[in-house]
């Protein structure tokens, strides 16, 4: 690489040349610098416009505890919005959010005064405590309020997620069971509306907490916060949430449930029944039997125990557990209070839909940085997770507003919408963002703009088509 021009004392422009290989041989490219306000994230202006349409900035500011006194301090709402922008661009640490400040135009497209530094972000989240984290969690139920009512009611999926932190010195990080064995971690509770694919509840807990610990209070708070038009018709949960207190609560609230029962000795008796006790299903290799609940565990006269077995040779990918003395099958047991009109296979199929909510947990962990953000103190860590989940829910609402039928993950939104080079300027007294879009593709971007500016409800027949 050779220099074409030298830097002078008055800061003259520097240009260098670099040789690269092309299909036609070597080519020399001149590399220089510009003082124009350019951004690699010009598509984020659509995100900012969508938040303005929802009134999200005002909603967010109401939930923040910060009251800055310095005239030079960033507005707390700007700090939170820049954090959300960093999450959408793939940041999972404060240092990576702060790196956005190297983009000259990112503040303009996000509508913020500037991007906070790593130390400013640490101080910002350091002001959260238990009460203010509780207020920040209301952003999830506010997002649920933007959803329409659902005929028959929504399904609430309960689950837990392990947030591994190998250094293990942060408050709340404790050694507990994880998919990778006993590791230092946080152990969070999470609630997802299955049909909307939206997170409506999140509690961060120490890593040595069991899955179902305090889940009754978690569900009570979640249901109390939900808007009136968001009705829960069924709760689904795995064996970690199998406890009488939760089932009694749901029965008292007249909410149906499907919860995986633990394969203890009482349940294993039914796994060993002869073939005459099992009923064939429509799925080859899958058979079921139904048992009254009371003789097994007592209580819950409307509850049923459904035992499902899958023949491994016919359904090698089926879930469940094997018993040492019945190696040919995998078994599952479900407890439900759904009415008898739901036959056992229909109950089992409805429970299997819960697997999609586990995909949401993986998504917020891997794509929205929830697994990466970890502060020295417990409540700042939970606050960062709440804001990251708020970014996820806002992406869900954005897709609904654009009429997108199939849920897209963040990388698709990022590469097709958010990440787009643009020039930010101020001409004729107005701020302008010029996106670098070829003429052949501009109609798609205009369609996105039209959908965002429309005052009509989103219609799927006029959806913006993304390439998934």
Residue finishing a domain among 303, 318, 353: 353
Positive or negative: CA dihedral 375, 379, 380, 385: positive
Give 391's pLDDT tier (boundaries 50, 70, 90).
very high
Residue 293 lies in a domain: yes
Residue 156 lies in a domain: yes
CA–CA dist 386, 236 (Å, integer): 23
Residue 376 lies in a domain: yes
pLDDT at 384: 96
Q: At what angle do helices 56-63 and 76-88 cross, to 10 degrees?
A: 110
For residue 327, report the phi and psi dihedrals to the nearest 5 degrees: -75, -10
183 by DSSP, 3-state: which?
strand
For residue 389, report the phi and psi dihedrals to the nearest 5 degrees: -70, -35
pLDDT at 457: 65
CA–CA dist 7, 23 (Å, integer): 33
Same domain, 285 and 147: no
Same domain, 323 and 218: no
Residue 300 lies in a domain: yes
Same domain, 274 and 404: no
Same domain, 389 and 249: no
pLDDT at 303: 86
Same domain, 98 and 204: yes
Residue 212 lies in a domain: yes
Tokens of 415: 């590469």
**What number of other Cβ atoms are within 10 A of residue 122's Cβ?**
16
211 within 8 A of 219, measured Cβ to Cβ: no
Strands 279-280 and 321-323: unpaired
291 within 8 A of 384, measured Cβ to Cβ: no
421 within 8 A of 34, measured Cβ to Cβ: no
Same domain, 28 and 139: no
Tokens of 378: 């417990």
Continuous segment of H or E residues that includes residue 191: strand 181-193
CA–CA dist 370, 132 (Å, integer): 19
Positive or negative: CA dihedral 66, 72, 75, 78: negative
Residue 258 lies in a domain: yes
Same domain, 180 and 196: yes
Same domain, 22 and 92: no
| pLDDT for 10 beyond 50 | no
Calculate mean pLDDT across residues 363-367.
93
Give 460's pLDDT tier (boundaries 50, 70, 90).
low
Same domain, 347 and 465: no
pLDDT digits (tens, 9 = 90+) for 268-309: 988 888 888 898 888 888 999 988 776 556 556 678 899 999
Residue finishing a domain among 332, 353, 374: 353
CA distances from 134 to 15, 201, 383 (A): 54, 11, 9
Name 378's bridge partners.
none
Same domain, 181 and 251: no
- pTM of the complete model: 0.91
pLDDT at 429: 79
Same domain, 195 and 49: yes
CA–CA dist 164, 183 (Å, integer): 7
More confident position, 461 or 421: 421
Residue finishing a domain among 301, 319, 353: 353
Positive or negative: CA dihedral 319, 323, 327, 329: negative
Least confident of 24-28, 65-69, 453-457: 453-457
Tokens of 160: 């837990």
CA–CA dist 138, 222 (Å, integer): 9
Residue 436 lies in a domain: no
Residue 389 lies in a domain: yes
Work out the percent of the chain whose per-residue pLDDT is above 90.
60
Same domain, 161 and 309: no
- For tokens 């869900």, the residue is 396
For residue 444, report the phi and psi dihedrals to the nearest 5 degrees: -65, -45
pLDDT digits (tens, 9 = 90+) for 141-194: 999 999 999 998 999 999 999 999 988 789 999 998 888 889 999 999 999 999
Can you give the residue range of the structural domain that contains 6? Answer: 2-33
Sheet strands (E) in 218-362: 232-237, 256-260, 279-280, 286-292, 304-311, 321-323, 326-336
- For tokens 């891997």, the residue is 366
Q: Count how many domains the chain has.
A: 3
């Amino acid at each position: 690489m050779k220099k074409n021009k030298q830097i002078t004392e008055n800061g003259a422009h520097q240009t260098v040349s670099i040789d690269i290989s092309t299909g036609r041989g070597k080519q020399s490219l001149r590399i220089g610098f510009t003082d124009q306000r350019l951004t690699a994230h010009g598509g984020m202006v659509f995100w900012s416009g969508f938040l303005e349409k929802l009134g999200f900035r005002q909603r967010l500011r109401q939930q923040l505890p910060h009251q800055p006194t310095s005239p030079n301090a960033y507005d707390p709402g700007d700090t939170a919005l820049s954090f959300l922008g960093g999450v959408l661009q793939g940041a999972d640490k404060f240092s990576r959010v702060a790196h956005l400040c190297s983009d000259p135009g990112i503040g303009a497209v996000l509508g913020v005064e500037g991007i906070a530094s790593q130390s400013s972000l640490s101080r910002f989240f350091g002001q959260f405590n238990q009460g203010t984290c509780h207020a920040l969690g209301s952003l999830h139920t506010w997002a649920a309020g933007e959803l329409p009512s659902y005929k028959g009611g929504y399904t609430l999926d309960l689950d837990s997620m392990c947030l591994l932190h190998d250094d293990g010195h942060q408050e709340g990080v404790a050694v507990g069971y994880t998919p990778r064995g006993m590791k230092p971690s946080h152990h969070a509770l999470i609630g997802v509306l299955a049909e909307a694919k939206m997170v409506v509840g999140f509690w961060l807990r120490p890593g040595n907490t069991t899955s179902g610990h305090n889940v009754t209070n978690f569900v009570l708070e979640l249901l109390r916060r939900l808007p009136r038009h968001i009705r829960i018709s069924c709760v689904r949960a795995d064996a970690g949430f199998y406890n009488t207190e939760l089932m009694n609560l749901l029965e008292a609230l007249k909410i149906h449930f499907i919860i995986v029962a633990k394969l203890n000795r009482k349940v294993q008796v039914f796994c060993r029944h002869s073939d005459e006790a099992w009923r064939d299903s429509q799925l080859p290799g899958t058979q079921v039997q139904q048992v009254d609940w009371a003789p097994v565990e007592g209580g819950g006269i409307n509850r049923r125990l459904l035992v499902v077995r899958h023949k491994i040779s016919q359904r090698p990918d089926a879930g469940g557990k094997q018993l040492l003395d019945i190696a040919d099958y995998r078994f599952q047991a479900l407890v439900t209070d759904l009415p008898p009109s739901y036959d056992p296979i229909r109950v089992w199929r409805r429970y299997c839909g819960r697997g999609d909510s586990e995909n949401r947990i993986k998504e917020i962990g891997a794509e929205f940085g929830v697994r990466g953000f970890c502060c020295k103190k417990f409540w700042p860590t939970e606050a960062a997770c709440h804001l990251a989940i708020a970014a996820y829910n806002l992406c869900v609402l954005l897709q609904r507003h654009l009429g997108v039928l199939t849920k897209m993950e963040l990388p698709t939104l990022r590469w097709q919408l958010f990440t787009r080079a643009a020039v930010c300027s101020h001409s004729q007294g107005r701020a302008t963002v010029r996106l670098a879009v070829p003429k052949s593709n501009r109609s798609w971007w205009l369609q996105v703009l039209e959908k965002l500016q429309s005052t009509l409800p989103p219609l799927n027949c006029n959806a913006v088509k993304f390439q998934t």
